Amino acid sequence: MKRTQSSRNSQKKTFDSVEADYQITINSGEQAIQVPVILKIRGENGFATIPLRKTTNDEQPFQPNASHQFTARANDVGRIQRITIEHQGTDYELLWHLKTVEIRKGNDTYKFVCSRELFDLTVI
């Protein structure tokens, strides 16, 4: 008996990802960096990766003793649980003193206190 494969309409399910607007404030300490920084936000509904390249007022980001604001539209992670922040520097000269990260999403504000020097990757 010969077997034949049935011709099914193969329909892939697609899920519309819900997005949210994030307002991010980064407060640097005494040490600053001038390399790309990536913020990864983990929440109850997944995660979002946000490159922090351009501030809302076009200033050079991550200067010493400064506060910089960023805006981004990314996947809505739901209630934020933790963040990972990393920079793409590898030398000791690329040490960065990160004080705080504040994220506003809708009516919710999340503040993460770091107050330490980062070499490349830190989970907060």
Position 102 scores a pLDDT of 98
The whole domain housing 109 covers 19-123
CATH code assigned at 106:
2.60.60.20
70, part of any domain: yes
The winner for highest mean pLDDT among 26-40, 58-72, 76-90 is 58-72
Q: Total structural domains in the chain?
A: 1
Q: CA-CA distance, 11 to 52, in Å (whole number)? A: 37
State both tokens at 119. 């070499």
Q: Please return the burial class of 57, using the count of CB atoms within 10 Å of its CB with bins 0-12, 13-18 and 19+.
A: exposed
Q: Quick one: which of 86, 83, 78 has its CA closest to 19?
A: 78
DSSP state letter for 65:
T
At 6, the pLDDT band (50, 70, 90 cuts) reads very low
- Looking at every residue in the chain, the average pLDDT score rounds to 82
State both tokens at 43. 């929440």
Instruction: Tell me the pLDDT tens digit for each residue of 88-113.
Output: 766 555 678 899 999 999 999 999 99
At 36, the pLDDT band (50, 70, 90 cuts) reads confident
Assign 46 to helix, strand or coil. strand
Neighbours of 101 (CB within 10 A): 20
